[in-house]
Each structure stands twice: as structure tokens, then as C-alpha cells.
Amino acid sequence: MLNQKLPDDFLWGGAVSANQCEGAWDIGGKGISTADVAAAGKHGQGRLYTEGIVEGVYYPNHQAIDFYNRYKEDIALFSEMGFKCFRTSIHWTRIFPNGDETEANEEGLAFYDRVFDECLKHGIEPIVTISHYETPLYLVEKYGSWTNRKMIDFYVKLCKTLFERYASKVKYWMTFNEINVITLNPMIAAGIRTDKYDNPEQMMYQAAHYQLVASAKAVKIGREINPDFKIGMMMLYPLSYAETCSPEDNLENMHNMDLHYYFSDVQTRGYYSPKAQKFLERKQIALDITAEDKLDLLAGTVDYIGISYYMSLVTSANPERKIKVKGNMLEGIVNPYLEKSDWEWQIDGVGLRISLNNLYDRYQLPIFIVENGLGAVDEKIEGAMIQDDYRIDYLREHIAHMKEAILTDGVDVMGYTVWGCIDLVSASTGEMKKRYGMIYVDRNDKGEGTLRRERKKSFHWYKNVILSNGSSLD
């Protein structure tokens, strides 16, 4: 099995987001986004979002890795690795600096033309996430971001502009990055400062509904603009296991997973499941859902499911079992069978195979693994290549289990993109030292460094994986 190839059209590649790599935060008419007011957090802590730009505070995303100016060099390196695709996102504030303008910013649109043209020149398919963890700050301050129904129209206008402009360049789209994160971290996912609301839970689920409707409307419009588009949803896949075989632990675990299927059920089926409706009733959450919203949800179901998968967790029904481990915005109990990363994310390759099976059994839609990778501290010795064997081990294990899911279990997986294929700013902590890349970037947590790019050992390993179409993982 391990030496078998994947289908010829399998999309191997890498992934980044605009706000974590572009920099140039105030260049080319760009407005301020929530990512621009996210200060660097400390190890193990979240990020602090300031009210506006505060003098003297360091904002790592402002320069990030300067992809805005270095995209040609970076895409050439991706091409050297043999990428078939490259996933990035659009910085909303490059296109509509405030978010509610009627005219798009031509300089912003032209930048993404250049990026996509460069990809296509190298035979690399651009994969575009429309909204990845940044919201125009103006929309946050003036409208309360996604707590306001008006956001649907602003977002749909953005999508229509992008679909029309890049209709001949981009085929694969995703509407929102990790849409299920809105209830875990409303600020990063949707520009919502929960401390400003009396009933944050009600408001988060309302905002989630507006995002779901906005996504569905975008899918419908995208299909009208170009019927060849493939438009997907994207979720953080939060695999968790019951701690014991007790029915109570398993029931608790099921409820845990249901919090996330809440989103994918709507985006794939076009309506809230009976279980989701009961959940809202139990929580006494009454949503503003119009008859038109229901029609929009039905008309805008997705073509594929994009997932991020990094780790797994464990659930217990026993309240005395303390939460012992965190990771990727989730919390759970330590799994004694698994190793942990430098950031204590529990490494679980088999879990990827289980996740792919779970999703395919449930929806029978193609799945695109658009994020998987290892955030680790790399030791840089001047003049020597980084020997990131730990990253190779992680990727090898996950790719091997992905292959089992495809070749043994029959799951339809469209492609696989390594997260942070080039070192970038961590989303949850703002650190640079949490490196995912197969390409090293000379920059540290204080924003110092030359931004020079260097190939790591994993660069050469992944190149060989792609060249062999997955048949060689050595």
C-alpha cells in the first residue's frame, strides 16, 4: 500500500493565508483589518487585539514574511518543490479597505492578478480562501462585524468582485476558513469582541448564521458567474475520542463533535439538522432566520469539504477529569498513546484516516486536506541546512494514513496542502518561532531578520513525495 501512487490529478501543494504572510499592511490602498491590530501573544496564550493601532505595540502581521513583495521568489520555490496547487487567501481590506465601499480598490485586485498569474506561469493551480481570519476593522467598529445582518451583503459583494475578476484564473474557492472556529474564537474568526455583549453565545450563533447564509449566497453567485468553479466549505476538523468505553463518555464525545458538524451539516445539506435545532432550543438561543435565508442555504450547498487537521483530543463525561491539554483552539484530556508537538498539540496520523472516513461516510463529498503540518522550533545554524526530520516524520505519518483512507477505504480526497509551506506568523500566538515551513524565513519574534529564504531538509523530502505522486515517502 505504502508504495502505491495516488490519482494523477491529485492536488499536492502548500497553504498560507494572506494576513500571515503578505505583510504590506498599509500599502496599495489597503485598509486596516483585525489581523493588523493583533499583537503578538506569548507561548501558550492567545493574542491581544488592541483597539486600533497602538504606538509602541509590535504587530507581527504588519510585515509578516513580506510575501507581498517576494511572491515571485516564493512561488518559484513552490514550483521547484513540484507544487500542483497553492492555497492562499484574499486580504479583504486590499479589495475593499473599509468593507462597505461600492467600488473595489484596483491596486488590491491587481496584486492578486500578479500572484495568480505567477502561479499559473509555473503550472500551479491557485486555491483561494475568500476570508481567512481577518475582517475589515471599519466593519467591526461601525457595524459590529458579523453580529450584523448587513455583513452578508458586504461579503457577497466581495465574493462577486473576486469571482468576476478571477473567473479565468481561479477554479477552486473556499468561502470561510474554519467556519466552525467562530464559537471557539469569535475575534479571530469573525471580528467579534465578545466582552462587548451581554449574551455572547446568542450573538455568536447569530453571527454564525449570517456567515452560513453569506457563504451559501456566494456559492450560488459563483456558480452563475462560472459553472466550472468548485466552491468548498472549510472546517477545522476537531477529532476527539471518548476517554473510556463507557457509554457516558461516548455520548459526551458525540455531543462534542456535534458542535462542529452543526456547521458542515448546513453547508453540505442546506439546512440545520433536527439535532442542531434542538441544541439551540436547549441553549435558549433564538436565531433571526428568514424564509429567504432558508432558501439561500438550500441553494448554496458546497462542492467539496476543505479541512484543517493537525491533532486529536480526548473527551470525558466526568467533570472531575481536568482539561490537561490545549491545541488549535480546542481543549481536552491527554491521550497517553500520542506524542506531542513543541506546542503540546497531540500528534495523531491515524486520526487523519479516521477523520477522512467520518466525513466521507457522513457526506459523500470530495474532501480537500487544505491544512496539515507541524509547528516546531527549528534550530538554525549559520551556513547549514535545517535538519527538520521531526517535520518529515509528522508529514510522512499523516500522508501515509491519508493514502490508506484513499486507497484502502475508498475516501475521495482531492488534494493535500502542507500548512505554512513557508514559515509564517502563527495565527494563534503571533510567533515566528512556531515554524511550519519547508522553506525557512530569516525573521524572529521581535521582527528582526533579513527575510532571506532557505530550503530545509523537508523541502527536498516533499519534492520527492510529489515527484513520485505519493508512492515514495522515504
Residue nearest ligand BG6 (C-beta atom): 428
User: What sign does the dihedral 257-260-263-264 (CA atoms) show?
Assistant: negative
Nearer to ligand BG6, 143 or 310 (CB): 310
Give least dist CB 289 to ligand BG6, A: 27
Nearer to ligand BG6, 145 or 429 (CB): 429
Decide: is 458 part of the binding site for ligand BG6 (CB under 6 A): no
Binding range to ligand BG6, per CB under 6 A, among 70-78, 154-162, 253-261, 419-427:
419-427
Decide: is 209 part of the binding site for ligand BG6 (CB under 6 A): no
Decide: is 177 part of the binding site for ligand BG6 (CB under 6 A): yes
Binding range to ligand BG6, per CB under 6 A, among 58-66, 224-232, 294-302, 425-433:
425-433
Q: Which residue has the cell 468576476?
A: 164
Give least dist CB 20 to ligand BG6, A: 6
Decide: is 372 part of the binding site for ligand BG6 (CB under 6 A): no
Q: Give the total of residues touching ligand BG6 (CB under 6 A).
A: 16
Binding range to ligand BG6, per CB under 6 A, among 49-57, 79-87, 290-298, 424-432:
424-432
Decide: is 427 part of the binding site for ligand BG6 (CB under 6 A): yes
Nearer to ligand BG6, 82 or 351 (CB): 351
Residue 292 known to be catalytic? no
Give least dist CB 60 to ligand BG6, A: 11
Start-to-end Cα distance in the chain: 14
Q: Which residues of 177-197 are buried (b: 16+ CB within 10 A; e: fewer)?
A: bbbbbbbbbbbbbbbbbeeee
Among 74, 118, 125, 178, binds ligand BG6 (CB under 6 A): 178
Decide: is 426 part of the binding site for ligand BG6 (CB under 6 A): yes
Tell me how many degrees the CA angle 257-262-263 measures, rounded to the nearest 5: 115
Q: Where are the beta strands (DSSP E) in 272-398?
A: 304-308, 313-315, 325-327, 330-332, 339-340, 346-347, 367-371
Q: What are phi and psi of 94, to 5 degrees?
A: -80, -30
Decide: is 131 part of the binding site for ligand BG6 (CB under 6 A): no
> What CA–CA distances, in Å, run from 187 to 41, 75, 194, 303, 365?
14, 31, 8, 28, 30
Nearest to 155 by CA among 129, 131, 125: 131
Q: What are phi and psi of 445, to 5 degrees?
A: -70, -10
> What CA–CA distances, in Å, run from 269 to 23, 183, 273, 303?
37, 21, 9, 11
User: What sign does the dihedral 460-462-467-470 (CA atoms) show?
Assistant: positive
Decide: is 335 part of the binding site for ligand BG6 (CB under 6 A): no
Among 74, 428, 445, 453, binds ligand BG6 (CB under 6 A): 428
Q: What are phi and psi of 59, to 5 degrees?
A: -115, 100
CA separation for the pair 464, 455 (Å, rounded): 14
Give least dist CB 419 to ligand BG6, A: 6
Give least dist CB 345 to ligand BG6, A: 8
Distance of CA 171 to the CA centre of its chain: 18
CA separation for the pair 395, 431 (Å, rounded): 21
Among 95, 236, 338, 386, binds ligand BG6 (CB under 6 A): 236
Residue 178 known to be catalytic? yes
Which set of grid coordinates corresponds to residue 84? 500542483
Decide: is 308 part of the binding site for ligand BG6 (CB under 6 A): yes
- Which residues are tagged catalytic? 178, 371
Residues near ligand BG6 (CB under 6 A) are 17, 20, 133, 177-178, 236, 308, 328, 371, 375, 419, 426-429, 434
